[in-house]
A and B are shown apart, each in its own frame.
Chain A
Amino acid sequence: MARLIVIVPLLLLALAKLVTWWFKRRTAALEARKAAFDQAVADRRAEFDPAEHGLAPTAELAVKPLAGPEHTEALAAARAGDWRPAAALIASAGTDWELRYLLSGPYRELAGEEDGWLRAWREAEPANADAAALHADSLVVLAWELRSSKAAAQVTREQFRNFHRVLQEAEAVSEEAVRLADPADPTPWLSRLPIGMGLNWSNETFEENFAEITKRVPLHWAAHFRALQYWCEKWHGSHELMHRFADTATAAAPAGSLLTVLKLEAWYEQLVRQKALDEAWAAPKVQAALDAALADLAAADPAHPKLDHARGWLAYMLGKAGRPAEALEQFQALGGVVPLPFSNFHDPVVAFDRYRTLAVLKLRIAAQ
C-alpha cells in the first residue's frame, strides 16, 4: 500500500510531463506548417495579376450598392426629411409591381435605420399604400437589426423580446398596407414573408400568404428568395421542404427567369448546414442544378435586374463543384461587382478575391 502511494503520484507526474511534451511538440509542428502555408499563399498572391486572366483589378472590387445612380437624389432628399422624390420614383413603376418593389428597396433599408421622413410621409398621406408597405418593411429591417443575424443561441433575451415586439408591430402595419393597396399589388404581402418567419407561422399560414403573392405575380423574384429562407431547416422547414419549394418554383418558370438560382441557394443552405466536405459540393445533383442555372442564364435578358445575383451564385458554386473554368467565366463577367453570396461574407471583397484566385489556381493545376 505504502509503495503504491509513492508510485501513483510518480506515475501521475510522468504522465503529466508526457502529455505537456506531446502537446508542445504538436503545437510547434502545426505552427510551422501554417507559417509555410501562409508564405506559399503570399508568394502566389504576389505573382497573381488579375488582368492576366480577364479579371477586374483587386482595388476596383466593391459590393454592388443596393441603390443605383437614379436613387442618389431621392435618397439624399429622404435623409433630409423630404419624402416626395422617393414617393415619385417608386410610383413611376406604375403597375409593374416587381419593378415597384425593386425601386423601393433602398428606401426600405433607409427607413429601417432612420424613419423621420417616412413618418412624415405617412402623416401627410395616410392612405398611401407605398408608404404603408414601406412602413411595414422598415419595421422588418429594424426587427432584424435588433435581433442581429447571429444564430438563435447567440441572441440574447432582450434582443429576442425586441425582435418579436417590433415584428408584431410590423404585422399590424402590413395588414393595414394590404387594406390600402391596389388589389392587384402583391407588395404588402411580401413584408409578411419575413414576419411569418420571425413570428414562427405554421407552414399552412405561410403558404397561404405566399399564394397571395403568386396569384398576383406568379414569378415574383424577390418573393421566392424571401420564402426560400422560411423553408430552410434553420427556420421552419427542412432540406426536403426547401428543395421541394425550389423545384416547384423552377418547374413553373420559363427559361431566362433566373429562378433556377433558388436551387443553388437551396444546395448552399443544405451543404453549409451539413458542414459538407468538398466532394458533396460536386455531387451529380448539385451539378445538375448548376447546368440548369447556366442554361437559364444563357436564356436570360441581358438587362435582367438579377443577372449579377445569378452570376455570383454560379461563380461560387461552380468553383466549389470543381468547375473552375466556368467559374472564372462568371468572375470575368462580374468585373468589379461583388454580389451574393460573397456580399454576405465577413469581408466580401477579400472573399470574392480569394474565390476567383482559387479558380485561376485550380485551372492552372488542372493544366499541369
Chain B
Amino acid sequence: MGTSTAGRAAQAVALLAGFYLLALAIVAGMIGIDVALASWGRGGPLVAKIVVLTIAVAYPVVRLVFLTRRPADGGGDAGLPVTREQQPELWARVDRIAEQTGVRGPAEIRLVPVVNAGVREDTRLLGLLPGKRHLELGVPLLLGLTEAELDAVLAHEFGHYSNRDVRLAGVTVAGREALRHTITGLHSRAGDANAAERARAEQKAAQRAAKGRKAKPVDTRAVHDGTVDRALAQVFTAYAKLYFRRSEAVSRRQEYAADQAAVQVAGRDATAAALRRLPVLDQAYDFYQRRYVTLGWEAGLLPMPGQVYGGFADLLADPKRRAELAELGLELPEPEPDPYDSHPPVNQRIAAVLALPDDGRGPDTSGPASALLHEPELTLARLEDLTLVAEAAAKRRTDWVELVQEAQLARYREDAAPVFAALTALGLPATVDGLLDAVDSGRQWEVADRLPRSAEAAAATGRAAREFARPRLGGALADLAVLALAEAGRARWEFSWSTAAVAHLPEGLSEAVSAATTDTPDTAPLRALLAPADAH
C-alpha cells in the first residue's frame, strides 16, 4: 500500500466533506442571489423569474443531498442472528477462516436472504477506532456453494480486514453512496435515468416483489423538462469523477488483495470457482424468486415454512437446471459497467487468481456448504419469520405441487372474471355451459362485446369487428372450460424444478374451442369434452 492509513483516511474524509461542501455552496450561492436581489430593492417579472430559478436549482440539491435518508446499502438489522449454540459448525468454520486469514473474527453472524456475504465493523471516528464485527451471510450462498467455495468467500471478506482497508470503508462507502444517490436522483428527476440505472431499479423492484413487498413501478417520469436537474447532475458527476479517480485504484487493489487472502485459505481453484459461481447464483436466485417463490402470491399462497428460501437448494439440485447454470458460468456475461462499483470486473479477478501457480490442492472435493447449517429447515423458517413482509403472514403455506396448481387456477379465475361478469350482466348463468348455450342461441357476440377490448377492436365494424371478437370469445371459452375441467379434476398442472408448470389438459381442447367460435359454431365437441368422464 503506497499511502498510509492515516493519509487514505484523510483523503476519504476530505472527499466526502467536499461533496457536502459543494452542495452547500450551490444552495448558499442561490440564497446569495436572492438576498442580493432583495437588497437591490426592485421588483418586476424578471426578478421574480430569477427567484423562481434559484429555488428550482436549490430545491433538488437540498432535497436529495440533505433531506433524503439514504438506505444503508446491505447494512441494517434484517436477517437472523445465529448463536454459537444454535450453529456450532458454522461458527467453527467462520472462526477458523478468520484465524487463517489472521484477523479478529466476528462477534455476530447474521443469516440474510440475499446472494451476498459481508463483514461490517462498528467503527468509530470515521473508521479510525475498531469496533464489533458482524458477518452477514447470504443463505443462497450456503445452499449454492461448496464448503471450499464458501471458505473462499469468507476469506475474501476477512481479507479486507487483514489489509486494514475496510476501516475506512465506512467513509468511502458513505461518500460513494451519497454521490450515487444524488446523481441518479437528479437524473431520474430529469426523466432520463440511464438504462443501467433503470435496470438496477427494475431489478430492485423485482427483488422487492420476490420478497413479497409490493413492487413499486420504476418511476422515470419527468417532473418537468429536467434541464435544471440535468445541469446539476453534470456538476455532481464532475465531482464524482474526481472522487472515483482518487478512490478507484485503491479500492480495486483492495479487492485483488482480498482475493489473494482467499486463495491462501481456500486454494486457487476454489477461489476461482467461487468467483465464477457468485454471479450465476445471483441470477439463479432471482429466477427462483420470480418463478417459484412468488408463484402463488397473488392467490394468497406461499411455499411451506423453510421452503421460501430453502427451495433454492432443490432448484440447484435439479439436473437440467444444473446444466443450464453450468453453461451460464462458462460464459459469464460481460457485466454492465457500473462506474460506482468498487469491484473490478469479475472476469479480471478470475484471470488474476488463475494466473497464480497451481497450489497442488487438486479438485474441490468438499461437499455442499449447506452441511454446515444445523437444523436447516427450522433455521430457514425462522429466517422467513424475520425477513418476509407482514403480508406474508396472511398467506396460506402449501407444498409446491399444490402451489403451482392453485396459482394457475387463480390466474385462470382472474382471466375469466370479465366473462363471468359479462354472462351475469346478460342474465346468463356464469358457467361454461352458460356460455356454450349463448353460442348455440347466437348470443356469443353480445358476450364478446362485453369483454375488455382494444381501441382498434372497439373501432372496427362489420366482419372486422367480429374477427377482433373471435379470439376474445375463444379465450373466454377456453378459460371457462379449463376451470370446469380443473374442478372435475381433469385439468392439472405439473410442478417441476426443471421447467415451468406443465399443463395437462384433455386432448383436443383448442380444436373444440375453435369449432365453437366459427361463424357456424359447433359446440358439440367442447360439450363432449366437458362431459363427466363416466359419460364417455
A-side interface residues toward B, CB under 8 Å?
1-2, 5-6, 8-10, 12-13, 16, 112-115, 119, 138, 142, 145-146, 148, 156, 158-159, 161-162, 165-166
The answer to whether B467 and A166 touch across the interface, beta carbons within 8 angstroms, is: yes
Instruction: Return the CB mask of B35-71 against A: 1 if under 8 Å, else 0.
Output: 0000000000000001001100100000000000000
Chain A interface, >50% SS class: helix
Judge whether A158 and B29 touch: CB under 8 Å.
no
Q: Which residue from B22, B26, B227, B456 sits with its C-beta under 8 Å from A9?
A: B26
B33: chain A residues at CB < 8 Å are 6, 9-10
A5 B467 Cβ-Cβ under 8 A: no
B30 close to chain A: CB less than 8 A: yes
Please name the 3 residue pairs, one residue from A and one from B, whose CB atoms are nearest each other, closest first: A5-B29, A5-B25, A145-B464
Given A12-B228, A158-B471; 19 other pairs, CB 8 A cutoff: A2-B29, A5-B25, A5-B26, A5-B28, A6-B33, A9-B30, A9-B53, A9-B57, A112-B463, A113-B461, A114-B462, A119-B520, A138-B463, A142-B464, A146-B460, A156-B456, A158-B456, A159-B456, A162-B468
Q: Report 14 cross-chain contacts, Cβ distance below 8 Å, ordered by A residue.
A: A5-B29, A6-B33, A8-B235, A9-B26, A9-B33, A10-B33, A12-B228, A16-B53, A114-B462, A114-B463, A142-B467, A146-B460, A146-B468, A162-B467
- The residues of A that contact B50 with a CB separation of less than 8 Å are 13
The yes or no answer to B75 lying at the interface (CB within 8 A) is no
Kindly list chain B residues whose C-beta atoms are within 8 Å of the C-beta of A159. 456
- Min CB distance, A170 to chain B, in Å? 12
B25 touches A1 (CB 8 A): yes
**Interface size counted on chain B using CB atoms at 8 A:** 29
Which DSSP category, helix, strand, loop or mixed, fits chain B's interface?
helix
In the assembled complex, the CB of A2 is this many whole angstroms from the nearest CB of chain B, namely 6
Contacts of A2 in B (CB 8 A): 25, 28-29
User: Is B454 close to A, CB under 8 A?
Assistant: yes
Q: Is the CB of A6 within 8 A of B29?
A: yes
A352 CA to B97 CA, complexed, in Å: 87
CB distance from B240 to the nearest CB of A (A): 17
B interface residues (Cβ-Cβ under 8 A, vs A): 22, 25-26, 28-30, 32-33, 50, 53-54, 57, 227-228, 231, 235, 454, 456-457, 460-464, 467-468, 471, 519-520
A144 and chain B: residue at smallest CB distance:
B464
- The chain B residue sitting closest to A165, CB to CB, is B471
Provide the bound-state CA to CA distance between A138 and B462, in Å: 13
Cα A156 to Cα B454 with chains together (Å): 10
CB distance B32 to A6 under 8 Å? yes
The one of B28, B54, B456, B463 that contacts A148, using a Cβ cutoff of 8 Å: B456
**Chain B min CB distance to A116 (Å):** 9
With A5-B26, A9-B26, A13-B53 known to touch, is A142 a contact of B32 (CB < 8 Å)?
no
Name the CB-closest residue of B to A141. Answer: B463
Determine the residue in chain B with the shortest Cβ distance to A12. B231
- Give the interface centre of B29, B33, B520 by most chain A CB atoms within 10 Å: B29
Docked-complex contact A162 and B471, CB < 8 angstroms: yes
Q: Are B519's CB and A119's CB within 8 A?
A: yes
B454 touches A158 (CB 8 A): yes
- Please judge, given known A-B contacts A113-B463, A158-B456, A159-B456, whether A9 and B28 are in contact too, CB under 8 Å: no
Rounded to whole Å, the gap between the CB of A219 and the closest CB of chain B is 33
Task: Give the residue among B22, B463, B471, B520 with the most A Cβ atoms within 10 A.
Answer: B463
Q: Which residue of A lies closest to B54 (CB)?
A: A9
Of all chain A residues, the one with the shortest Cβ separation from B53 is: A13
Residues of B within 8 A of A8 (CB): 235
Chain A nearest CB: distance from B29 CB in Å? 4
Q: How far is the CB of B174 from chain A (nearest CB, A)?
A: 22
Smallest distance from the beta carbon of B25 to chain A beta carbons, Å?
A: 4
Known: A9-B33, A16-B53. A146 touches B26 (CB 8 A): no
Residues from chain A with Cβ under 8 Å of B235 in the complex: 8
Q: Report how far A8 CA is from B232 CA in the complex, Å.
A: 10
How long is the Cα–Cα vector from A146 to B468 in the complex, in angstroms?
8
| B235, closest chain A residue (CB) | A8
CA distance A155 to B183 in the complex (A): 38
Contacts of A156 in B (CB 8 A): 454, 456
- Look across to chain A and name the residue whose beta carbon is closest to the beta carbon of B18: A1
- Which chain B residue has the least Cβ–Cβ distance from A163? B467
CB distance from A50 to the nearest CB of B (A): 36
- List residues of chain A with CB within 8 A of the CB of B462: 113-114
Question: How far is it, in angstroms, between the C-alpha of A9 and the C-alpha of B227 when the chains are bound?
Answer: 12
Chain A residues contacting B228 (CB-CB under 8 Å) are 12
- Report A-chain residues with C-beta under 8 Å of the C-beta of B57: 9, 12
Cα–Cα distance between A142 and B464 once the two chains are bound (Å): 6
Question: Which chain B residue has the least Cβ–Cβ distance from A161?
Answer: B471
Please give the distance in Å from A168's CB to the nearest CB on chain B. 12
> In the assembled complex, which residues on chain A have CB atoms less than 8 Å from the CB atom of B454?
156, 158
B231 CB contacts on chain A under 8 angstroms = 12
Within the assembled complex, what's the spacing in Å between the Cα atoms of A9 and B28? 12
Chain B hits for A9, CB < 8 A: 26, 29-30, 33, 53-54, 57
Question: Which residues of B are found within 8 Å of A1, using beta-carbon distances?
Answer: 25
Residues on B with beta carbons closer than 8 Å to the beta carbon of A5? 22, 25-26, 28-29
